[in-house]
Amino acid sequence: MNLFTRLKEGLSKTRSQITSIVGSDSNFGEEFYESLEEAMISADIGLELSLEIIDRLKFEINSLKIDSVHEAYTIFKQMLAKDLDVIKMPEEFPPKPWVTMVVGVNGVGKTTTIGKMAHELRQSGKKVMLGAADTFRAGAIEQLRIWAQRTESQFVSQHEGADAASVAFDSIEAAKARDTDVLLLDTAGRLHTKVNLMNELQKIVKVIRRNTPHAPNEILLVVDATTGQNALKQAKVFNDILGITGLIITKLDGTAKGGVALALTKTFGIPIRKIGVGEGLDDLQDFDPMDYVNAMFGDI
């Protein structure tokens, strides 16, 4: 089964409209742009960015003197893919341990994503450790412990209610002692609007940095694709406070949208590291801009 099925199905109506326009070159004109705009808005790209893309597209098409709708559609898709394509720093390099901290609002899929990432890293032969710095939610430590067992990763935790920064500190020390390649740190979900909780994240980073200046190497923000444009507000606050280095978009299997990915990369210039397309171990994929655009807008 194609993992993008839902995304593709959801946009099938707008896509068939576009396809019918593209099928007859005589319809090329305002109607074409209006269909694209409608399609982008229903894909959750957002009004402002959609209008800006249409402007750029018109400019491009006029200056290239394109008169085939088919070609124009290809240029449109390439334009979206380019907006999604933020240059990535390499994901891994010495010194050990590589420390990835995972943050985001409640329930977006942080812990599950850590489990999937651990699985992927284990499959490539890495020594992985999971650090349970979500000491807040009941059951969070146990949930991560199960992922550690499933993926044969090392595991560090303290008791529920312990200081999250102290767990982060312990985890790094343990990772060093056990020659771990990658330490994945889980954190508690928190509303970006709660200042004291956001400050706690800053404290975790500070404690990590004081211990190991090169860490955390990555601070990944997990965003649920089904939340739509609110994801932009989340990203702004987390990025202002922590300096996010990568994005993970989850639950793309459960939405007809997905355009928020574009709004995020365009607005913040932060690369999308992975996408989540289900609840299982293997449901994490690398992000490919053109594949993603094709899932939203189809091959025609």
Ligand X SMILES: Nc1nc2c(ncn2[C@@H]2O[C@H](COP(=O)(O)OP(=O)(O)OP(=O)(O)O)[C@@H](O)[C@H]2O)c(=O)[nH]1
Q: Which is nearer to Mg ion, 72 or 108 (CB)?
A: 108
Q: Check residue 111 for interaction with ligand X (CB under 6 A).
A: yes
The beta-carbon contacts of 283-292 under 8 Å, at least 24 apart in sequence, are: 283/3, 283/116, 283/253, 284/113, 284/116, 284/117, 284/119, 284/120, 285/3, 287/84, 287/249, 289/80, 289/81, 289/82, 289/84, 289/85, 290/77, 290/78, 290/81, 291/4, 292/81, 292/84, 292/258, 292/261
Piece of 104-112, 162-170, 175-183, 259-267 that binds Mg ion (CB under 5 A): 104-112
Q: Which is nearer to Mg ion, 111 or 227 (CB)?
A: 111
Provide CB contacts within 8 A for 211, sequence distance 6+: 169, 172, 173
Is 175 within 8 Å of 97 (Cβ atoms)? yes
The item of Mg ion, ligand X, none sharing an interface with residue 56, based on CB under 5 to 8 Å by kind, is none
| Binding residue (CB under 6 A) for ligand X from 245, 250, 255, 285 | 250
Q: Check residue 106 for interaction with ligand X (CB under 6 A).
A: yes
- At its nearest, how many Å lie between ligand X and the CB of residue 257? 14
- At its nearest, how many Å lie between Mg ion and the CB of residue 109? 8
Q: Check residue 285 for interaction with ligand X (CB under 6 A).
A: no
User: What SS3 class is residue 53?
Assistant: helix
Q: Check residue 187 for interaction with Mg ion (CB under 5 A).
A: no
Binding mask 182-201 for ligand X (x = CB under 6 A): -------x------------
- At its nearest, how many Å lie between ligand X and the CB of residue 287? 13
Piece of 9-17, 82-90, 123-131, 275-283 that binds ligand X (CB under 6 A): 275-283
For 60-91, b/e burial (b = at least 16 CB within 10 A) is ebeeeebeebeebbeebbeebbebbbbeeeee
| Binding residue (CB under 6 A) for ligand X from 119, 253, 256, 273 | 253
- At its nearest, how many Å lie between ligand X and the CB of residue 139? 9
Of the candidates 61, 91, 86, the residue with the CA atom closest to the CA atom of residue 76: 61
Q: Check residue 277 for interaction with ligand X (CB under 6 A).
A: yes
Residue 98 half-sphere exposure toward CB, CA atoms < 13 A: 15
| Binding residue (CB under 5 A) for Mg ion from 35, 100, 111, 135 | 111
User: What SS3 class is residue 161?
Assistant: coil
Give the C-alpha separation, 17 to 157, whole Å: 53
Q: Check residue 60 for interaction with ligand X (CB under 6 A).
A: no
Within the chain, how many helices (H) and strands (E) appear? 12, 8
Provide CB contacts within 8 A for 126, sequence distance 6+: 181, 182
For ligand X, how many residues bind (rule: CB under 6 A)? 21
Piece of 47-55, 65-73, 80-88, 250-258 that binds ligand X (CB under 6 A): 250-258
| Binding residue (CB under 6 A) for ligand X from 97, 216, 278, 298 | 278
Provide the binding-site residues for Mg ion, judged by CB under 5 A.
110-111
Provide the binding-site residues for ligand X, judged by CB under 6 A.
104, 106-112, 134, 137, 140, 189, 250-251, 253-254, 276-279, 283
